[in-house]
Amino acid sequence: MVKKAGIWLCFPLVGMVLMLTGCFQTVPRTPVDPVTVPPTVSNTGSTRIPTATPVVAPSFTPVPEITSVPESPTSTPQSPTATPKPTPTLAPTISPVPPPTLSPTVTPPPTQGPIPELLLEVHEPVDGIEVSSDAVIVRGITESGAAVTINDVPAILEQNGEQRVAFRGSVPLVLGENEIMVVASDNLGNQSTRVLTVKSIAPPPLPFLLVITEPRYHSIVSTGIIRLSGRTGPEAVISVNGVSSPIDLVGNFSTLVALEPGPNIIDVVATNSDGQVMSAVAAVIYRP
141, 162 Cβ separation under 8 angstroms: no
Mean confidence (pLDDT) of the chain? 75
Round to whole Å and give the CA distance between 210 and 270: 7
pLDDT band at 161; cut points 50, 70, 90? confident
225-250 mean pLDDT: 91
Per-domain residue ranges for the chain?
A: 120-200, 210-286
pLDDT band at 57; cut points 50, 70, 90? very low
Nearest to 282 by CA among 244, 229, 243: 229
**Reported pTM:** 0.39
**Terminal C-alpha separation, the chain:** 207
pLDDT tens-digit map of 177-213: 999 999 999 988 899 999 999 999 977 767 889 999 9
Round to whole Å and give the CA distance between 239 and 138: 33
pLDDT tens-digit map of 133-149: 889 999 999 998 899 99
pLDDT tens-digit map of 75-119: 444 444 445 555 555 555 566 656 656 555 556 555 555 556 788
Q: Place domain 120-200 in its CATH homologous superfamily.
A: Immunoglobulins (2.60.40.10)
Which residues 6+ apart lie within 8 Å of 135 measured at CB? 170, 171, 172, 173
Our CA dihedral for 228, 232, 234, 238, rounded to 10 degrees, sits at -60
Our CA dihedral for 201, 205, 211, 213, rounded to 10 degrees, sits at 0
At 169 the pLDDT is 95
Domain 120-200 identical in fold to domain 210-286:
yes
Structural domain 210-286, CATH architecture: Sandwich (2.60)
Strand-by-strand arrangement of the 225-232 sheet: 210-214, 225-232, 252-258
